[in-house]
Amino acid sequence: MEKLEKSLVTLAQYFPNIPLVTAREILEGVIYILKNAEGVVWPDYLESGFSRPNLSIAGLQRILSCLPQGTTELMCHPGYVGMPVNAIYRIERENEIEILSNVDINESIIEQDINLIAFDQLP
From first to last of its 123 residues, what are the pLDDT tens digits of the chain?
566 677 777 777 766 777 878 888 888 887 788 778 777 788 888 888 888 778 899 999 999 999 999 999 998 888 887 756 566 667 788 899 999 999 999 999 999 999 999 988 987
Q: Judge if pTM exceeds 0.85.
A: no
Q: What letter represents residue 43's amino acid? A: P
| pLDDT the model gives residue 5 | 73
| pLDDT the model gives residue 87 | 62
Domain map of the chain by residue range?
Answer: 1-40, 41-123
Report how far apart, in Å, the C-alpha atoms of 56 and of each of 1, 48, 94, 103, 114 are.
Answer: 27, 14, 12, 13, 19
Alpha-carbon torsion (12, 18, 22, 28), positive or negative:
negative
Three-state SS string over the chain comes to CHHHHHHHHHHHHHCCCCCHHHHHHHHHHHHHHHHHCCCCCCCCEEECCCCCCCCCHHHHHHHHHCCCCCCEEECCCCCCCCCCCCCCCHHHHHHHHHHHCCHHHHHHHHHCCCCCCCHHHCC
